[in-house]
């Protein structure tokens, strides 16, 4: 088979993994070597669905001994199969990298024969890139769950990031669609890598020549909307994995119908893009805005609001915490105001040292004043009698915003 066709097949099969981040790498170029990591990562292009293209994201092969219902590469699926040779992946990576198409390689694979056989080939590729080609660009490698400890620990010396996908947010969900699989080997391998990361870090403190081990950390991915979990189930799982395995990122992939299997949403169903977006917003609030997961999702509110973002939704449920006085309030409270991001919040606490801030200054700083004005006081806030209720504010904000996702979903709803 020609290399062009192989690449097309194995890129196509890899595209359902939504992670393409190249961030968190700290690798510098070595003398006479090629490449380095960019601290915040670089998106070299964007696909026509608007996703970042940062890494050459391919499968080593789409042959697979498993039959996971949600996966295009499942063994019962009648598709064209292909497999790269080790050298082919190396050549593609290096040549794409030299042309500044990519930040590096994201290598995953279907399972041929067994976990170790597959992991051993993945290892050969990354080892060759690092040692023979002296490649210092970014490498994201899939850990094959259940592969032997020795293989995983060696691969970690060459990869910047490793990941294993949970696939379904709960064990029950996974059992339903992939009866041959369970979360146990995934947890075991996540644990192994996470322990090794910690151990190498400790040793590096004492001895400088101890090599780095998966310096950009681990991540995982969950498919959303294939099984009936609530947003609360999903985010509690995410929270648990962030904490237990010290993950850098959890990705949420809206399920894209690829099968007529009756256990799954029908072909032609739109992928739940808006829901996916809301989950990412929640993830963000947990990681950067000091929110606890139960503040945003709890048995009273097991689902995220579709119409408005989770921060606004939380604020409207907690009107007693507002208004926040921009000129005196604690940074953490300012961060909780809808319409104020991390950057603006930082600028506010710096700038207010030089005098009380007014609305126009907030606007200049980058605050979405239209949204924030319902929740703040600043130097020139008008005196008002009787604050509007949460419902009034919600209606006002909704009337003044259009979402890139809402339009589409309204359109879909109106079809039924």
Among 18, 38, 66, 154, binds ligand SF4 (CB under 6 A): 66
Contact predicate 16/47, CB 8 Å = no
**Residue 176: exposed, middle, or buried by beta-carbon count in 10 A (0-12, 13-18, 19+)?**
middle
Owner of token pair 């990519």: 102
> Helix, strand, coil % (nearest 5) of the chain?
40, 10, 50
Listed ranges 69-77, 241-249, 288-296, 365-373: which one lies at the site for ligand SF4 (CB under 6 A): 69-77
**Residue 77: exposed, middle, or buried by beta-carbon count in 10 A (0-12, 13-18, 19+)?**
middle
Residue 85-124 contact track with ligand SF4, rule CB under 6 A, x = bound:
-------------------------xx-------------
- How far apart, in whole angstroms, are the C-alpha atoms of residue 416 and residue 413? 6
Total residues binding another protein (CB under 8 A)? 57
Work out what residue 347 binds among another protein, ligand SF4, none; the CB cut-off runs from 5 to 8 Å by kind. Answer: another protein
356 Cβ contact partners less than 8 Å away, ≥ 6 residues apart: 327, 378, 379
- How far apart, in whole angstroms, are the C-alpha atoms of residue 319 and residue 227? 34
Least distance between another protein and beta carbon 49 (Å) = 4
Nearer to another protein, 354 or 383 (CB): 354
- How far apart, in whole angstroms, are the C-alpha atoms of residue 335 and residue 315? 11
Residue 86 interacts with another protein (CB under 8 A)? no
Contact predicate 103/80, CB 8 Å = no
Least distance between ligand SF4 and beta carbon 141 (Å) = 15
Listed ranges 67-75, 241-249, 250-258, 342-350: which one lies at the site for ligand SF4 (CB under 6 A): 67-75
Listed ranges 51-59, 142-150, 193-201, 278-286: which one lies at the site for another protein (CB under 8 A): 51-59
Nearer to ligand SF4, 52 or 144 (CB): 144
Give the DSSP letter string of 354-409. Answer: GS---HHHHHHHT--HHHHTTTEE-TTPPP-SSPPPHHHHHHHHHHH---TTHHHH
252 Cβ contact partners less than 8 Å away, ≥ 6 residues apart: 18, 221, 222, 224, 234, 238, 276, 279, 280, 283
Residue 15-54 contact track with ligand SF4, rule CB under 6 A, x = bound:
----------------------------------------
137 Cβ contact partners less than 8 Å away, ≥ 6 residues apart: 27, 34, 35, 36, 37, 93, 97, 102, 103, 104, 105
* Residues numbered 271-300 forming contacts with another protein, rule: CB under 8 A: 271, 273
Listed ranges 48-56, 167-175, 195-203, 296-304: which one lies at the site for another protein (CB under 8 A): 48-56
Residue 277-316 contact track with ligand SF4, rule CB under 6 A, x = bound:
----------------------------------------
Work out what residue 73 binds among another protein, ligand SF4, none; the CB cut-off runs from 5 to 8 Å by kind. Answer: ligand SF4
- How far apart, in whole angstroms, are the C-alpha atoms of residue 59 and residue 62? 6
* Residues numbered 308-367 forming contacts with another protein, rule: CB under 8 A: 347, 350-351, 353-355, 357, 361, 364-365
Residue 46 interacts with another protein (CB under 8 A)? yes
Nearer to another protein, 13 or 152 (CB): 13
**Residue 14: exposed, middle, or buried by beta-carbon count in 10 A (0-12, 13-18, 19+)?**
buried
Residue 132 interacts with another protein (CB under 8 A)? no
Work out what residue 416 binds among ligand SF4, another protein, none; the CB cut-off runs from 5 to 8 Å by kind. Answer: none
Least distance between another protein and beta carbon 373 (Å) = 18
Contact predicate 247/217, CB 8 Å = yes
Total residue count of the chain as it appears in this document? 416
Owner of token pair 């992670």: 19
Binding footprint of another protein on the chain (CB under 8 A): 3-4, 7-9, 11-12, 15-16, 28-29, 31-36, 38, 42-53, 56-57, 92, 95-96, 98-101, 134, 254, 256-257, 270-271, 273, 347, 350-351, 353-355, 357, 361, 364-365, 404
Binding footprint of ligand SF4 on the chain (CB under 6 A): 64, 66, 68, 71, 73-74, 110-111
């Amino acid at each position: 088979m020609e290399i062009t066709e192989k690449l097309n097949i194995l890129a196509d099969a890899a595209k359902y993994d939504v992670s393409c981040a190249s961030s968190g790498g700290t690798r510098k170029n070595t003398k006479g070597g090629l490449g380095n990591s960019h601290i915040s990562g670089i998106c070299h292009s964007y696909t026509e669905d608007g996703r970042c293209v940062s890494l050459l994201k391919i499968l080593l092969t789409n042959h697979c001994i498993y039959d996971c219902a949600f996966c295009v590469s499942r063994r019962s699926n009648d598709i064209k199969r292909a497999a790269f040779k080790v050298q082919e992946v190396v050549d593609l990576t290096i040549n794409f990298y030299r042309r500044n198409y990519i930040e590096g390689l994201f290598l995953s694979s279907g399972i041929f024969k067994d976990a170790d056989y597959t992991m051993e080939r993945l290892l050969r590729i990354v080892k060759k890139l690092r040692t023979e080609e002296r490649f210092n660009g970014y490498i994201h490698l899939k850990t094959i769950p259940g592969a032997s400890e020795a293989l995983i620990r060696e691969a970690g010396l060459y990869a910047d990031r490793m990941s294993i996908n949970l696939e379904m947010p709960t064990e029950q969900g996974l059992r339903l669609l992939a009866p041959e699989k369970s979360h146990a080997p995934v947890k075991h391998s996540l644990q192994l890598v996470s322990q090794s990361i910690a151990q190498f870090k400790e040793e590096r403190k004492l001895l400088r020549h101890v090599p780095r081990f998966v310096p950009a950390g681990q991540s995982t991915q969950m498919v959303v909307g294939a099984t009936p979990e609530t947003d609360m189930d999903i985010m509690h799982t995410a929270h648990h994995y962030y904490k237990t395995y010290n993950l850098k990122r959890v990705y949420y992939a809206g399920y894209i119908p690829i099968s007529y299997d009756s256990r799954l949403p029908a072909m032609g169903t739109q992928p739940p893009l808006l829901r996916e977006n809301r989950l990412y917003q929640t993830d963000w609030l947990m990681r950067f805005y000091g929110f606890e997961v139960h503040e945003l999702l709890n048995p009273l509110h097991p689902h995220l609001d579709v119409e408005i973002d989770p921060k606004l939704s939380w604020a409207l449920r907690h009107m007693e915490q507002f208004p926040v006085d921009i000129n005196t309030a604690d940074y953490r409270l300012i961060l909780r105001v809808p319409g104020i991001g991390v950057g603006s919040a930082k600028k506010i606490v710096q700038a207010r040292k030089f005098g009380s801030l007014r609305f126009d200054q907030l606007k200049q700083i980058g605050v979405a004043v239209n949204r924030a004005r319902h929740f703040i006081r600043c130097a020139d806030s008008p005196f008002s009698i009787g604050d509007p209720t949460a419902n009034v504010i919600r209606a006002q904000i909704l009337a003044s915003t259009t979402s890139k996702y809402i339009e589409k979903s309204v359109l879909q709803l109106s079809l039924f």
